Structure 1
């Protein structure tokens, strides 16, 4: 995929797994969270007994608010997790069942994206020889990367989006993911009832590879961090009378505070046409990512690539008449999308 081939860093290979891997169950997300948490100061061998504790805990927590964690009709392992949540099973029995049943598919499929394995492996399957997995140097180096602290936020946001799509049944009812600017949340409606899904920042960050949309300066998802990203309307809010659905996901990007509201920042000016092409490329990542962002972008901007591109250009031209002034950022990093 051009997502990580254009910028082949370890964090972007990892994001390829989280954002673009095929999901028939949520185990891949639980596996990622387990790997974030597992003690990596000792041996590179992680036994299934060690891995089962955080893996099962994350699944049990998500089952409390999202009972559908798999696309098939049922799972004996997930039934065990539900029993534990209902105090019908001990923690020791949950861990034993997780070791026996929980990793049957996720270890084999973790590195698969678009029907093929990514070039960088983060662990090796050693279940038959050492009853666990062995972390590779890639995973340890990943933990040293500047973007590592953002990955857990991104993983949980993607998990929340996928399980919401499963809950709504996207094959029958396209999910309209909407933006609440006051609370910086993505939400949808279920039977006329609003359902908050996840943080907008956490959802968008991975698709921008952890960088400001405009200048490519690294950004953060950690509350209180001086580099905390702003959620910005690419076509400014000032053009809302000329541009329908200006709050749509198609028009939301993450920006550093300097680009969004600094002295030389964008403010109410319209980003240049070169940046419009970048927005199109970012939105196409949403298409590749499948549900529910795929469905949302299709619903908001069109079913075909050319239609989506024309949608952006038409709205950009309409906003240009209203805003007049064009803005270009000062590059702070190398363009990666």
Structure 2
């Protein structure tokens, strides 16, 4: 995939798994979180019974808020998780059920993206020989990367988005994911009721590979971090009366503080045509990642690549006529998306 071929770093291979892998169950996200948290005690072999505790805890946490965690009608393993949440079984019983049923497919499928396996493996399946998985050097190197902390936030945000898509039945009804500017949260409307989904920063960061949309400087989504990203409107908010749905996901990007509100920042200027093409490419990543951002972008900007390109060209021309001045910052790194 172009996403990680343009910048083939370990964190972008990992993001490829989280953002673009096929989702028929949420187990992939639970496994990612378990790998973030599992105690390694100096050994690269992780027994399934040790992996099962954080894996099941994350699934139970999400299951309590979002009952649909799989596309199939029934799951014996999720029944065990529901039993744990209802205090009908203890942690030991849940751990045993997790070892027996929870990893059956997810370990095999974890590294598969777009019907093929990515080039970098983060663990090796040794269930038959050692009753666990063995972490590779790629995983250990990943934990030392600058972006590693961001990956945890991105995984949970992607999980929240996927389960919201399942809950709303995107195959029957295109979802509108919208932005709450005051709280920087994404939300949707169901039965005339507003439902908060997840952090806007956490949702967008992975698709930008942890970099400022405009200059590619490193950014963070961790609260309190000095490099915490700003959520910016690519087409300035002041044109909300001239541009349709200027607060839509299609128009939201993460920016460093310098680009968003520094002395040479964008403010009410029109981003250059080069940056407009970058927005189109970023939005096509949304399309590739499937529900619900795919459905949102189709609804907001068009049902084909050509229509989405024309939509952006039209709103850019409207912005140029109204605001006149174009803007593009000095790059802090090479183009990565």
User: Is 1:311 paired with 2:319?
Assistant: no
Q: What's the counterpart of residue 70 of structure 2?
A: 70
Q: What's the counterpart of residue 154 of structure 2?
A: 154
Cα distance per residue 1:256-299 (max 9 Å; x no partner): 00000001100111110100000000000000000000000000
Counterparts of 1:49-64 in structure 2, within 5 Å, are 49-64=49-64
Q: What's the counterpart of residue 243 of structure 2?
A: 243
Q: What's the counterpart of residue 36 of structure 1?
A: 36
Uncovered stretches (5+) of structure 1, i.e. residues with no partner: none
Provide TM-score, normalisation by structure 1: 0.99
SS in 2 for 1:39: coil
SS in 2 for 1:267: coil
Distance of 1:140 and 1:47 partners within structure 2? 17
Uncovered stretches (5+) of structure 2, i.e. residues with no partner: none
Query: How many pairs are equivalent?
Result: 337
Q: What's the counterpart of residue 193 of structure 2?
A: 193
User: Is 1:282 paired with 2:292?
Assistant: no
Cα distance per residue 1:58-81 (max 9 Å; x no partner): 000000000000000010000000
Q: What's the counterpart of residue 230 of structure 1?
A: 230
Distance of 1:64 and 1:39 partners within structure 2? 25
Distance of 1:150 and 1:159 partners within structure 2? 14
- Deviation of residue 41 (structure 1)? 4.4
SS in 2 for 1:254: strand
Distance of 1:65 and 1:327 partners within structure 2? 43
Q: What's the counterpart of residue 124 of structure 1?
A: 124
Structure 1 stretches of 4+ moved >3 Å = none
Q: What's the counterpart of residue 13 of structure 2?
A: 13
Provide TM-score, normalisation by structure 2: 0.99
Cα distance per residue 1:217-240 (max 9 Å; x no partner): 000011011100000000011211
Distance of 1:28 and 1:331 partners within structure 2? 35
What is the aligned-residue RMSD (CA, Å)? 0.6
SS in 2 for 1:36: helix
Cα distance per residue 1:72-127 (max 9 Å; x no partner): 00100000000000000011000011011100000000000000000000000000
Cα distance per residue 1:30-52 (max 9 Å; x no partner): 00000000123410000001100
Q: What's the counterpart of residue 88 of structure 2?
A: 88
Distance of 2:107 and 2:165 partners within structure 1? 24
User: Is 1:206 paired with 2:206?
Assistant: yes
SS in 1 for 2:25: coil
SS in 1 for 2:197: strand
SS in 1 for 2:253: strand
SS in 2 for 1:134: strand
Q: What's the counterpart of residue 270 of structure 1?
A: 270
Distance of 1:67 and 1:124 partners within structure 2? 31
